[in-house]
Amino acid sequence: MDAANGGRIPVLDPATGEVISEVPRGGAADIDRAVNAARRAFESRLLLEITPAARVELMFEIASQLEKLADEIALVEMRDNGKTLQNGYNEVALTQRYLKYYGGMADKLEGRQIPLGGDILDYTIHMPYGVSAQIVPWNGPLPVGARSVACALITGNTVVLKSPEDSPLSLFLFAEACERAGVPKGAVNIVCGYGKEAGAALVSHHDIDHIVFTGSVETGKSVLRAAAERVIPCVMELGGKSAGIVYADADLHLTARNAAKGIFTHSGQICSAASRLLVHRSIHDQLVEKLKAEAGIRTIGPGVEGRDMGPVISEKQLSRIEALCKAGVEEGATVVSGGRRLDRAGYFMPPTIFTGVTPQMRIANEEFFGPVLVVIPFDTPEEAVRIANGTDYGLAAGIFTRDLRLAHWTADRLVAGQVYVNDWWVGGVETPFGGAKRSGYGREKGQEALLGYVQTKNVGIRY
Ligand code: NAD
């Protein structure tokens, strides 16, 4: 459907910088129409009046419709997001897992019966909020969007989702899958538009009841200000500057491999990327050599060529990463790999490693959201934990050691929503994910996520 004012947003292929498509530039009028549709769908109670078992079937049907669109989705993820074709297919599979995982919970959301004695029956109900406003970033729009939609629908909420302006295409196909699966009209509404137009109009709309925001801390703050005006709850999934701590007894080969995976996957454009590595001084030089080798073996190129690393999303993002690298050099850090864009069309940043970094430097505190690793030496576990916890963020953290006692000691002290030991991204659809401190609050993924989409209603009955 076109935007009310006819506006369009060009969609670029980050591997070439060329315009490959355009999408409607939704604005306040489109958001208003979408929220009204979601409100009508919510008030109709259609989702609440079909049985929980039917909601299970509905989620499974969306997953099965996605299967039929998998080739198209993989292709658009490659073209508008810079992923490889294989990663595009992986995104479809991950999204199906979310739909089936949450679908499978639709008939297991049980309340409690609270004994009050006498002639009273007391019980609780999971009550949906109503219209859930959801804002999604560009790095993984399909799974990030679909998991929130699934949580909302199985709990009886309806949704208005603003898709990311830089990589909007896969969520259009998700909308198609929802429609083909028979999701009730108005229950899922996807509007594409710029953050300052459609995004701001959505979070400040007078008729939304709930917000799920995934994006940067700065934008998150403005979303929270809008939510405060209307006292509505938010799930906030914000940025990160996650540290891996490498103790002297770690398996260095395995550590280098996993740390490189943690920062160079999807060119570092993952909120929980392993962007800082804190390394015991006794193994620092040895590990840096292995990290350089890991950076060196990675091939870089457009997703269509199936290389290890694709482009970053935009010229703006590439310039930001380069500028922060420059600041690192000016602050006295040393580039041992990469450090500046590749001299070719598209937005390619090579795997970059900084050494000689101190915890006070900007590059040790600010999120690159690119393939840039900063390595910081430490001497004692207490110092490592202090540095790891020393930024504004608290999304993820890692520990590399053979000593389980030390791993537990460290995990207990790290302020992060998830801690990985001897690997990066240990977990899955089933494990709760979210931040501490400025990385946000509330949880996505796992059973915990559902608690963010319902409020408890207590019903007390005197016979
Ligand atoms: P961003 O905050 O600029 O944009 C995120 C989304 O918010 C986009 O859809 C954008 O259009 C929208 N937006 C922008 N301004 C808005 C406004 N005033 N009101 C409402 N919506 C607005 O972030 P980005 O640069 O697109 O994404 C990268 C950031 O997202 C990083 O900080 C990254 O760590 C974070 N992120 C976090 C998670 C997580 O789960 N914690 C996952 C992915 C990305």
What tokens appear for 439 in the block?
């990385």
Please report the pLDDT score of residue 1 as a whole number: 85
- Out of 138, 219, 366, mutate this one to test ligand 1's pocket (max ligand atoms within 8 Å of CB): namely 219
Whole-number Å distance between alpha carbons of 144 and 155: 17
Cβ 239 under 6 angstroms from ligand 1:
yes
Cβ 367 under 6 angstroms from ligand 1:
yes
With a CB cutoff of 8 Å and minimum separation 6, the contacts of 229 are 204
Cβ 238 under 6 angstroms from ligand 1:
yes
Cβ 98 under 6 angstroms from ligand 1:
no
Please report the pLDDT score of residue 280 as a whole number: 98
Digit-coded pLDDT (tens) for 48-90: 999 999 999 999 999 999 999 999 999 999 999 999 999 999 9
Report angle CA 330, 331, 336 to the nearest 5 degrees: 80
pTM given for the model: 0.96
Cβ 394 under 6 angstroms from ligand 1:
no
Whole-number Å distance between alpha carbons of 310 and 346: 10
430: annotated active-site residue = no
From the candidates 91, 165, 237, 294, give the one annotated as an active-site residue.
237
93, 76, 190, 1 alpha-carbon torsion, rounded to 10°: -140
The protein residue whose alpha carbon is closest to atom 38 in ligand 1 is 271
Contact between 336 and 355 under an 8 Å Cβ cutoff? The reply is yes
Please report the pLDDT score of residue 227 as a whole number: 98
Please report the pLDDT score of residue 16 as a whole number: 96
Instruction: Measure CA of the first residue to CA of the last residue in the chain; give whole Å.
Output: 53
178: annotated active-site residue = no
Mean pLDDT (10-residue bins), the chain, 463 residues? 94 97 97 98 94 97 98 96 94 98 97 97 98 97 98 98 97 98 98 98 98 98 98 98 98 98 97 98 98 97 93 98 98 97 97 98 98 98 98 98 98 98 98 98 97 97 96
The protein residue whose alpha carbon is closest to atom 34 in ligand 1 is 239
Report angle CA 65, 193, 437 to the nearest 5 degrees: 90
From the list 150, 96, 97, 67, the residue with the least C-alpha distance to 429 is 97
Contact between 134 and 148 under an 8 Å Cβ cutoff? The reply is yes
From the candidates 197, 271, 366, 367, give the one annotated as an active-site residue.
271
Please report the pLDDT score of residue 21 as a whole number: 96
Residues paired with residue 353 on neighbouring β-strands, in sequence order: 337, 373
How remote is the CA of residue 215 from the centroid of ligand 1, in Å? Answer: 2
Whole-number Å distance between alpha carbons of 416 and 412: 10
From the list 13, 293, 55, the residue with the least C-alpha distance to 181 is 55
What tokens appear for 259 in the block?
């740390």
One-letter amino acid of 302? P
Please report the pLDDT score of residue 120 as a whole number: 98
Residues paired with residue 355 on neighbouring β-strands, in sequence order: 334
Whole-number Å distance between alpha carbons of 110 and 456: 11
Cβ 145 under 6 angstroms from ligand 1:
no
Dihedrals phi, psi of 8, to nearest 5 degrees: -130, 155
Digit-coded pLDDT (tens) for 135-191: 999 999 999 999 999 999 999 999 999 999 999 999 999 999 999 999 999 999 999
Whole-number Å distance between alpha carbons of 426 and 418: 9
Cβ 195 under 6 angstroms from ligand 1:
yes
Please report the pLDDT score of residue 410 as a whole number: 98
How remote is the CA of residue 253 from the centroid of ligand 1, in Å? Answer: 34
Please report the pLDDT score of residue 198 as a whole number: 98
Neighbours of 86 (CB within 10 A): 12
- Out of 216, 314, 318, 391, mutate this one to test ligand 1's pocket (max ligand atoms within 8 Å of CB): namely 216
Whole-number Å distance between alpha carbons of 381 and 43: 55
Q: Which numbered atom of ligand 1 lies nearest the CA of 439?
A: 41
The protein residue whose alpha carbon is closest to atom 9 in ligand 1 is 164
What tokens appear for 142 in the block?
């399909």
Cβ 216 under 6 angstroms from ligand 1:
yes
How remote is the CA of residue 145 from the centroid of ligand 1, in Å? Answer: 12
How remote is the CA of residue 217 from the centroid of ligand 1, in Å? Answer: 8
